[in-house]
Amino acid sequence: MDDLIRTEQLTVTYPGAPAPRLRQVSIAVGQDERVLLLGPSGAGKSTLLRTLAGVVPQTVEAQVTGQLQVCAADPRSTPVPQLAAQVATLTQDPADQLCLPTVAEEVAFALENRAAPAEEIGQRVAAALQAVGAGHLAGRRTSELSGGEGQRVALAAALVARPRLLLLDEPTALLDPAGARSIGTLLAGLPGSSLLIEHRLDELGTLPERCVLFDGAGTVLVDGPSREVLTWPEVAGTGTWLPATAELTRVLGRPVSGAQVGGALAELAERSPRPNPRPPGPVLLTAGETEVRRGERTVLTGVDLELRAGQITAVLGANGSGKSSLLLGLAGLLPATGISGRARAGMVFQNPEHQFLARSVAEEIGYGLPAGSSVEPVLARYGLAGFADADPFRLSGGQQRRLSLAAMTVMDDEVLLADEPTFGQDRRTAAGIGAELARLADEGRAVVLVSHDLRLVAALADQVLLLAGGRPVAAGSVDQVLVPDVLARAGLHLPPLLAAWPGPLGAARGVLALLEHEAAPAQVAA
């Protein structure tokens, strides 16, 4: 059986980088083989996919050495459009891929390039959109899509031409939990070969049978059956996300099955005192019967919310429910009514590149620091030590997210609005970001986060706002909102670890804090 992918001693180094992003990577992927790529943020996983697709070095400059073959061609020299006839890529940020005015035109583009019959194009576009749960978006403008909606559309555009090889970079990162599970089921049943980068292993459901694990230096640590790799003792040290059973097995030092998760959590609760709640401070911003508009369209209405100093507010909802629009309205970046208060609000955008102004990491952070201040402590706190001179636009997706947080938090705004702050993070860096958000609240800031990571919300939030269809459907504490019947109003459900908790989730905070400490005890690790 011929291999669709074969690399031998593949090494990739970006201009000006202190070290290679990939080091001597040798892997082979056969026909109809599905492979999961795991490793910490910045390990080179996305770089591997870009190199296999020919984007590196043909579009993004880099030195690429070693042997490389994809679908019987060398992607370093084969024109990218020629490769795209057999290889489809889904990038980490869907905004990088959506370029045509409407959803239907975007998904049809690959078929039109292949001169497919018009009647066939319409049928296949409809089928692809339906498969990813985006059939209702066909007539929408791509510029109006939420991040999760854009991710579904970009996936449909990748699937519609029925490629031999799929290169998928976190295809569920911006999806709600139900959407992540449905996409996981879809991908598991597709024909052809695929390489999948994914952090949300529990929510994805069925995993590829093979796993390749990278370390932080871009070297392959282990390549083998997923069920063995995920229980490998050293895997946790890489900062890789693990399924709940594997994580609890590591912490307790004995095997934990799916049926034993609830009991294991109860055991951990006995040695994990519940942290004291943060006392609420003065009201900094108020939203009263707030309405938010995008152009002529009202996208959110009826929001009542008080943002208090020292409190963390989580905004939840399915894709397209109005979460990001609420943050943009609070920041004054979208027209919004009913917002009062004089507090300064800083915004961390869902797409980090939308807020970068400089050509070096140090300069980007330096904008918000007093003159003469050193950026080194900030770089260390956010896992960016050694990247002071790096180009923000050449960082990995996870590193860009941490830079966007670092650049905004040094501004000392009284209110921090963070849209998907743990997007693109490995286990260790996600835990570190959670600790940073808690620290900011402890310092007296009001923190508002939009997230599909319900575990993060359960660990941090003082109050939760649940949106559905552009309106609030619930508001209250973690105990009041993170319950199955309430989440179901917005089409959400608890991830396996939280669903197994024996009681109100507010009491789980001590256990979650213990698990976070195991992953990132001091700072956002590199």
Residues 434 and 368 occupy one common structural domain? yes
Q: Are residues 168 and 48 in the same domain?
A: yes
Amino acid 434: pLDDT = 93
Q: Are 172 and 204 in contact (CB under 8 A)?
A: yes
Task: Say if residue 216 is in the same domain as residue 300.
Answer: no
Instruction: Please report whether residue 207 resides in a domain.
Output: yes
Percent of the chain beyond pLDDT 90? 70
What pLDDT does residue 276 have?
79
Quick one: average pLDDT of 130-148?
A: 94
Mean pLDDT on 492-513:
89
Total number of domains in the chain: 2
What are the φ/ψ torsions at residue 438 (nearest 5 degrees)?
-65, -40
Same domain flag for 201 and 320: no
**215, 234, 253 - which closes a domain:** 234
- What's residue 526's pLDDT? 45
Average pLDDT over residues 297-303: 96
Domain match, 323 and 228 both = no
Does 244 reside within a domain? no
Query: Of the residues 234, 255, 272, which one is the last residue of a structural domain?
Result: 234
Q: Which residues pair with 283 in a beta bridge?
A: 308
Beta-carbon-side half-sphere exposure of residue 216 (alpha carbons within 13 Å): 17
Over residues 171-197, mean pLDDT: 91
Residue 70's closest CA among 91, 81, 47, 86? 86
pLDDT at residue 96, rounded to an integer = 83
- How far is it, in rounded angstroms, from Cα 131 to Cα 120? 16
In contact, 430 and 295? CB cutoff 8 Å: no
The answer to whether residue 280 sits within a structural domain is: no
The answer, yes or no, to whether residue 214 has pLDDT greater than 80, is: yes
> Over the stretch 255-290, which tens digit does the pLDDT of each residue have?
998 899 999 999 998 888 777 788 899 999 999 999
Higher-confidence position of 80 and 448: 448
* Chain segment 71-109, per-residue pLDDT in tens: 999 999 999 989 999 999 999 888 888 999 999 999 999
Rounded mean pLDDT, 343-349: 94
Split at pLDDT 50, 70, 90, the class of 522 is very low
Q: CB 74: neighbour CB atoms within 10 A? A: 13
- Residue 246 is assigned to a structural domain of this protein: no
* Mean pLDDT value across residues 397-422: 94
Are 83 and 179 within one domain? yes
Tell me whether residue 268 is in a domain: no
CB 225 within 8 A of CB 211: yes
Q: Are residues 56 and 181 in the same domain?
A: yes
Residue 496 pLDDT class (50, 70, 90 cuts)? confident
What single letter denotes the amino acid at residue 370? P
Residues 172 and 302 both lie in one domain: no
* pLDDT for 520: 52
138: containing domain = 3-234
Instruction: Indicate whether 275 belongs to any domain.
Output: no
Is the same domain home to 200 and 291? no
Q: Do 292 and 227 have their domain in common?
A: no
Residue 46 lies in a domain: yes
Q: Is the pLDDT of residue 448 over 50?
A: yes
Is position 373 within any domain?
yes
Q: Is the domain of 346 the same as that of 218?
A: no
Distance CA 250, CA 237 (A): 11
Kindly state whether residues 211 and 321 are assigned to the same domain: no
The CATH code of the domain that includes 383 is: 3.40.50.300
Q: How confident is the model at residue 351 (pLDDT cuts 50, 70, 90)?
A: confident
Answer whether residue 42 shows pLDDT above 90: no
